[in-house]
C-alpha cells in the first residue's frame, strides 16, 4: 500500500523542497488561462520569467504568441493578456504560446525539482488531483508539494486544499465552498470593483468553473525554456 506525504506551500518567491510531484496552482489567472488555451487548441505553452526572453523567443519564432501580465495588466508588445475570457475568443488553434506571469509561471520555474510537475487552476483541479493520485499509487511512498502561488491569499489555498482532499481520497470538501472562497479572496476583488476597468469580471466565471476534459497540464522541464504540454489521461 502506498503512502502519500503532502505539503501545501504558499508563495512564488522561494525554493521548494524536493518532491516526487509538484502541483503548481494559479487560479486567478495564469493556469486558468493555460487550460482555456489548450481547450482552444494551443500546442504548447513556453514559460519565461521576463519580458525580454519572451520577445527574443518571438523574434526567433515569428509565429509564437506572447501572453501574460505585470501587476495583473497587459504587457506592452505582447499579443494577449492574462484573461481567460480573452483566450476563449482568440484564434489560437495550433499556436505556440509564450507565457509570463507574476505568480504561477514564476512559481513553476522554481518548482522543477520534481519527477512530475503539473499546473492547474480550479477548472482542471479534479482531473489533476486524480492523475497525481494515480501516479502516487504506483509508488511505495510519494511526496507531493501543492504550491499555492499567490502568497497569503485564499484563492489558490482553497484550490490546494481541494486537491489535497481528492489526493487523499477523502472527498469531504465541496466544490461550491471552494468557489465561494475564490470569489471573496483578495485577488478576486479587483474584478468586481467599478474603478478597476481593466479587469474583466467575466474572467471570474472561468476561474470558478470546473471543465470536463481528457488531459492534464504537465511541465516538460527537460527543454529550454520549460513548457507546459497537454497530457492525455484515461481517468
Kindly report, residue by residue over 90-117, the tens digit of the pLDDT: 999 999 999 999 999 999 999 999 999 9
Tell me what the mean pLDDT of segment 76-95 comes to: 98
Domain total in the chain: 1
Residue 145 neighbours by CB under 8 Å, 6+ apart: 6, 7, 9, 16, 17, 19, 21, 22, 23, 111, 114
pLDDT band at 156 (very low <50, low <70, confident <90, very high): very high
Decide: pTM greater than 0.85: yes
Backbone angles phi, psi at 100, to 5 degrees: -130, 120
pLDDT of residue 1: 58
Tell me what the mean pLDDT of segment 192-215 comes to: 96
Structural domain boundaries, residue 176: 3-232
Q: What is the CATH number of the domain that holds 125?
A: 3.90.1560.10
Distance CA 40, CA 48 (A): 21
| DSSP alpha helix (H) spans, 168-201 | 175-183, 186-189
DSSP string, 43-109: -EEEE-SSHHHHHHHHHHSTT-EEEE-BTTBPPTT-SB-S-HHHHHHS--TT-EEEEE-TTHHHHHH
CA 143, chain centre distance (Å): 20
Q: What is the pLDDT of residues 217-228, one digit of tens each?
A: 999 999 999 999
- The percentage of residues in the chain with a pLDDT greater than 90, rounded to a whole number, is 96
* Residue indicated by cell numbers 526567433: 60
Examine residue 58 and say whether the peptide bond preceding it is cis (omega within 30 degrees of 0): no
Residue 45, CA distances (Å) to 22, 117, 120, 121, 178 in order: 18, 14, 13, 15, 27
Burial of 7 from C-beta contacts in 10 A (0-12 / 13-18 / 19+)? middle
pLDDT band at 235 (very low <50, low <70, confident <90, very high): low
Distance CA 86, CA 182 (A): 20
Tell me what the mean pLDDT of segment 35-57 comes to: 98
What is the bridge-based pairing of β-strands 19-25 and 215-220? unpaired
**pLDDT above 70 (res 145):** yes
C-alpha cell of residue 69:
501580465
pLDDT band at 13 (very low <50, low <70, confident <90, very high): confident
Amino acid at each position: 500500500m502506498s503512502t502519500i506525504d503532502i505539503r501545501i506551500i504558499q508563495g512564488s518567491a522561494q525554493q521548494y523542497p524536493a518532491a516526487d510531484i509538484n502541483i503548481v496552482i494559479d487560479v486567478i489567472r495564469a493556469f486558468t488561462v493555460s487550460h482555456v488555451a489548450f481547450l482552444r487548441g494551443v500546442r504548447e505553452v513556453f514559460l519565461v520569467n521576463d519580458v525580454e526572453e519572451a520577445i527574443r523567443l518571438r523574434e526567433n519564432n515569428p509565429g509564437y504568441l506572447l501572453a501574460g501580465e505585470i501587476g495583473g495588466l497587459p504587457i506592452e508588445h505582447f499579443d494577449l493578456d492574462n484573461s481567460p475570457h480573452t483566450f476563449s475568443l482568440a484564434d489560437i488553434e495550433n499556436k505556440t504560446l509564450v507565457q509570463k506571469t507574476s505568480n504561477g509561471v514564476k512559481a513553476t520555474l522554481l518548482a522543477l525539482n520534481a519527477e512530475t510537475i503539473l499546473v492547474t487552476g480550479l477548472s482542471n483541479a479534479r482531473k489533476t488531483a486524480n492523475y497525481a493520485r494515480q501516479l502516487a499509487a504506483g509508488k511505495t511512498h510519494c511526496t507531493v508539494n501543492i504550491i499555492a502561488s499567490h502568497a497569503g491569499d485564499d484563492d489558490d489555498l482553497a484550490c490546494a486544499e481541494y486537491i489535497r482532499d481528492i489526493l487523499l481520497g477523502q472527498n469531504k470538501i465541496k466544490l461550491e465552498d471552494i468557489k465561494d472562497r475564490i470569489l471573496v479572496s483578495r485577488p478576486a476583488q479587483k474584478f468586481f470593483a467599478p474603478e478597476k476597468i481593466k479587469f474583466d469580471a467575466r474572467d471570474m466565471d472561468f476561474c470558478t468553473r470546473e471543465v470536463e476534459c481528457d488531459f492534464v497540464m504537465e511541465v516538460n522541464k527537460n527543454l529550454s525554456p520549460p513548457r507546459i504540454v497537454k497530457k492525455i489521461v484515461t481517468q
